[in-house]
Amino acid sequence: MNLSTPTDYAEEIISGNRAALSRAITFAESKKPEHQEFAQKLIHDLLPHTGKSKRIAITGVPGAGKSTFIEAFGLFLIHNSYKVAVLAVDPSSKISRGSILGDKTRMEELSKEELAFIRPSATGGSLGGITARTFEALLLCEAAGFDVILVETVGVGQSETLVKDITDFFLYLQVAGTGDDLQGIKRGIMEMADLIFLNKVDLFDAQMIQDSKMDLHRALQFLPKTDSGWKRKILKGSGYSNLGIDEVWQEITNYFELIENNGFLSELRQKQKLSRINDYLEEMLLQKIRTSISIQEERLKWEKQLHNNEITPYELAEKMLEKYFHST
Ligand code: GDP
């Protein structure tokens, strides 16, 4: 592949060239300024081709069955002629070095499919940085014609908020019948969820599953209404045994029909873009402050003051900011 300009890449990506798509995402993730610039030009050129996919967050604690579910769900979609991209998000991998993703063979069957594209997570950096990179990958996949983009959370912690910010639909996987369903799900997650999928039903008896479903229904009643006008749903099934997968898709389809008709989708898409501006501002500003010569000249002196307890970290940050804005 001999591609040299963003325009070359854009053409290849639109025509479905996987290698070009992969490399474009790598450029977007790169810290090198020339790669960044290239990626941003490319995304700009591709903008008219973005916006047509369904952006779906798939979350749940490690072990809830996310990758097994995505394999089954992805294959179901492909058999129905949809193109599926899977992006993973893992803010914790800075600490764990991405071990969750690296240690096991994930989505083996799905990864063999022509209509599927699986991309491990953008890692490292700030939360805003990871969100921006994942959003860029999402736009690139969209331009490549993927109908459904599944954004999976791999790490624990803040990843749910992160994916909520860049997706249209939030699917939460919860192991059914564990008896402590409600303690297991934080209220915040339930509020974010459009659909709770009680997973691994093949492991539990029907009564237990029914009980946990009832408990969840009761809990959902006390939550504030969703902004989309959608009524949160609970479904049960199993990624492993391929149960309930088609119903999940049916609900997702119903949801999109609703939000396309009531105007919420276009409102949401605008919000997704607007909230990225802060991510970029943070990145740009930090980069400029870190590399500012005038700050570097003073920095050692300030760090000494910090060490001697003459100033607080807050005051040091303030000094840096003042210096930056006075010297530009
Ligand atoms: P993730 O960490 O959320 O991605 O979870 P995995 O998909 O890796 O699943 C964790 C474990 O649960 C694996 O051993 C899976 O084989 C198993 N598992 C996943 N889904 C199901 C299911 O529906 N039924 C049963 N019995 N096991 C499942």
Of ligand 1's atoms, which has the minimum distance to the CA of residue 61?
Answer: 3
Look at residue 80 and give its three-state secondary structure.
coil
- pLDDT tens track for 101-142: 444 457 888 988 889 999 887 666 788 888 899 999 999 999
Of ligand 1's atoms, which has the minimum distance to the CA of residue 203?
Answer: 26
Q: Which pLDDT score, from 0 to 100, does residue 232 have?
A: 96
Q: Which pLDDT score, from 0 to 100, does residue 106 have?
A: 73
3-state secondary structure 148-200: EEEEEECCCCCHHHHHHHHCCEEEEEEECCCCCHHHHCCHHHHHHCCEEEEEC
Rounded Cα–Cα distance for residues 268 and 133 (Å): 19
Q: Which pLDDT score, from 0 to 100, does residue 77 have?
A: 97
Q: Evaluate: CB of 64 within 6 angstroms of ligand 1.
A: yes
Contacts of 130 (CB under 8 A, 6+ apart): 89, 91, 121, 122, 123, 124, 162
CA of 320 to the centre of ligand 1 (A): 49
Rounded Cα–Cα distance for residues 115 and 101 (Å): 22
Residue identifier of the C-alpha nearest atom 6 of ligand 1? 65
pTM for the model? 0.90
Q: Which pLDDT score, from 0 to 100, does residue 180 have?
A: 56
CB contact at 8 A, 29 and 134: no
Helices (H) and strands (E) in the chain, counts: 16, 7
Q: Evaluate: CB of 62 within 6 angstroms of ligand 1.
A: yes
Residue 104: both structure tokens together: 């096991």
Look at residue 58 and give its three-state secondary structure.
strand
Rounded Cα–Cα distance for residues 54 and 111 (Å): 20
Q: Which helix (H) or strand (E) holds 72?
A: helix 66-79
CB contact at 8 A, 311 and 299: no
For the chain, list residues with pLDDT below 50. 95-104
CA of 267 to the centre of ligand 1 (A): 35
Residue identifier of the C-alpha nearest atom 5 of ligand 1? 65
Q: Evaluate: CB of 238 within 6 angstroms of ligand 1.
A: yes
CA of 103 to the centre of ligand 1 (A): 15
CA of 69 to the centre of ligand 1 (A): 8
Residue identifier of the C-alpha nearest atom 20 of ligand 1? 65
Rounded Cα–Cα distance for residues 67 and 240 (Å): 10
Residue 284: both structure tokens together: 């740009």
Closest of 56, 60, 57 to residue 184, by C-alpha: 60
Residue 139: both structure tokens together: 């736009």
The residue behind tokens 């009832």 is: 214
